[in-house]
């Protein structure tokens, strides 16, 4: 799944050598959670982080709410976004090359397509809070911070 890297990533970064931290769901979740993250660059004092996230084929990340100003770029695969709005459900599919902003407070589910998914997220979160992981009712299970990711407090190391 090595694709040309976006210009904001170091040109010598090889996705095959990135040090990934894997997050997986347990029996308390009714959808398959299997994704990993890698911090590319971070400045916790300034509230900035760039991270790569990759999903296994057809796997989800946790239902979540974005807390910082986020730019997302699809590097490889398909990103499926599922949003529940008061009068409708929306399913968006984004492919390699897509780049867009995610609004502060945006709540959604997302999962990879059949080939998996790799994305780059650039987040500005002045208070250090990045995401709230949510249960099915929208209650916060865990608040994820820049420090959590930089200090590798979440997940388990996994092979490239």
> Half-sphere exposure (CA, 13 Å, Cβ side) for 110?
27
In this structure, is residue 108 part of a structural domain?
Answer: yes
In this structure, is residue 62 part of a structural domain?
Answer: yes
Give the global pTM: 0.87
Give the model's confidence band at 5: pLDDT under 50 very low, under 70 low, under 90 confident, else very high: very low
In this structure, is residue 43 part of a structural domain?
Answer: yes
Lookup: tokens for 31:
């959808």
CB within 8 A of 70, min separation 6: which ones? Answer: 101, 102, 121, 122, 123, 124
Q: To the nearest whole number, what is the mean pLDDT of the chain?
A: 88
The total of structural domains in the chain comes to: 1
- CATH assignment of the domain containing 37: 2.60.120.10
Range of the domain at 115: 19-158
What SS3 state is found at 128? coil
In this structure, is residue 38 part of a structural domain?
Answer: yes
pLDDT digits 0-9 by tens, 58-111: 999 999 999 999 999 999 999 999 887 778 888 999 999 999 998 888 888 999
**CB–CB of 6/23 below 8 Å?**
no
Q: Is 28 left (phi over 0), alpha (psi -120 to 50) or beta?
A: alpha
Residue 103 has what pLDDT? 81
**CB–CB of 158/152 below 8 Å?**
no
pLDDT for 154 beyond 80: yes
Residue 13 has what pLDDT? 66
Q: Which of 1-10, 19-28, 89-98 shows the lowest per-residue confidence on average (mean pLDDT)?
A: 1-10
In this structure, is residue 87 part of a structural domain?
Answer: yes
Which range among 1-5, 11-15, 129-133, 156-160 has the greatest average pLDDT?
129-133
In this structure, is residue 2 part of a structural domain?
Answer: no
pLDDT for 1 beyond 50: no
Return the closest-CA partner of residue 52 out of 11, 96, 19, 95: 19
In this structure, is residue 10 part of a structural domain?
Answer: no
């Amino acid at each position: 799944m090595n694709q040309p890297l976006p210009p904001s990533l170091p040109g010598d970064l090889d996705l095959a050598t990135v040090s990934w931290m894997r997050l997986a769901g347990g029996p308390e979740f009714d959808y398959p959670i299997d994704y990993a993250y890698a911090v590319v660059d971070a400045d916790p004092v300034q509230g900035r982080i760039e991270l790569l996230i990759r999903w296994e084929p057809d796997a989800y990340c946790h239902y979540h709410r974005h807390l910082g100003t986020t730019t997302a770029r699809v590097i490889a695969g398909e990103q499926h976004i599922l949003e529940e709005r008061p009068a409708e459900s929306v399913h968006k599919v984004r492919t390699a090359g897509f780049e867009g902003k995610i609004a502060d407070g945006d709540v959604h589910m997302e999962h990879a397509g059949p080939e998996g998914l790799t994305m780059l997220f650039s987040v500005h979160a002045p208070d250090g809070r990045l995401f709230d992981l949510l249960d099915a009712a929208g209650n916060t299970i865990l608040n994820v911070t820049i420090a959590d990711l930089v200090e590798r407090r979440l997940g388990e190391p996994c092979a490239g």
